[in-house]
Structure 1
């Protein structure tokens, strides 16, 4: 096992789906109640994403999608495969694996679930559970063009390094919302996706 894989596994070893799930506070400034009423925080709609880690020999990288320009929300932005939970989804893992199969054709049986990142609340009123999964070799991907414009990878070594991230502030309706950004080649990863990566980097640093 490589050092990077060991760090990744150690970072996720103590995570689980057991309730109550930890909640990221990156998008929860003190005045968020002007955007999301406090009583609705417990009724955010469940969703999940899969953060696929591809292992090719000693090299590990994480797979990302660029959302199709045809999508009504967050078009052209970088994300993980994922979406809202359907009634038939038993849990966040089933939710994430189903969405990954629908969006990029990733075989659910090819994914070894390593663990979970903190739930991420969004201003669109979703509570996203990030599922981190390991995939051996080069998966046979079939990208759904209605949802995904392209896929690309970032070495896990970059993601596990906190210095890879830049902290920025977005002003929205008079509220300053902190967020993280990671740039890789032409790709700008920011918002919820970068927030999840930052959580992973912090877990790795503490492991």
Structure 2
């Protein structure tokens, strides 16, 4: 049985257990994703399935996000801009709680997960060029560490440990699963 987790409990745990932040910006290309928590008494986690027409990561489950533009003032701005472009989340409707430490993507980007709360009444406007669909997973279920299995992938002779989980008909794996696990570990759920 999935334990209960209220929105206020999540908010308090996240704020009280702020992750260690890097004291300097990592070199390389930068990107950000929005980790949208849906504001319900029992909150949800908004995820997308990327368009099958995309060249990279086609059909994968992901958070809305992408590469930092030169005009973006911060990685939070990047996450909000990308979420607006991909699923129509108005930046003014997002309550930013903070960020998790950056992770390195398989394509070499330093990706910063930005955690934000969005209204339950928000209307999504999916950009079909980038997103196939969007779905909600109960946050308490998403944050159960026991949902995730480890897998080692060998790419170009290098071992890459990844996490994976299945929710309904969706395979949640790689960086997305790793970000959810990091969030779970951070709030000690």
- For normalisation by structure 1, the TM-score amounts to 0.82
Partner residue, 1:134: 117
Partner residue, 2:165: 182
Task: Measure the CA separation in 2 of the matches of 1:89 and 1:106.
Answer: 17
Quick check: 2:105–2:175 contact (8 Å CA) kept in 1?
yes
Residue-by-residue CA offset, 1:85-130 (whole Å, 9 max, x unaligned)? 0111111111100000000000111100112112111231100000
Tell me the SS of whatever aligns to 1:43: coil
Quick check: 1:48–1:93 contact (8 Å CA) kept in 2?
yes
Q: What is the correspondence of 1:82-161 to structure 2 with a 5 Å cutoff?
A: 82-161=65-144
Task: Measure the CA separation in 2 of the matches of 1:21 and 1:68.
Answer: 34
Partner residue, 1:51: 35
CA drift at 1:12: 2.4
Residue-by-residue CA offset, 1:10-60 (whole Å, 9 max, x unaligned)? 4422437964269xxxxxxxxxxxxxxxxxxx422011000111123x121
CA drift at 1:3: 4.0
Partner residue, 2:18: 15
Task: Measure the CA separation in 2 of the matches of 1:115 and 1:7.
Answer: 16
Residue-by-residue CA offset, 1:139-182 (whole Å, 9 max, x unaligned)? 11110000000001110001221112111111222322111112
CA drift at 1:7: 4.1
Task: Measure the CA separation in 1 of the matches of 2:51 and 2:24.
Answer: 31
Distance 1:94 1:182, change over 3 A: same
Distance 1:150 1:173, change over 3 A: same
Distance 1:21 1:158, change over 3 A: farther
Q: Which consecutive residues of structure 2, in runs of 5 or more, have no partner in the other structure?
A: none
- For normalisation by structure 2, the TM-score amounts to 0.90
Moved more, 168-177 or 12-21: 12-21
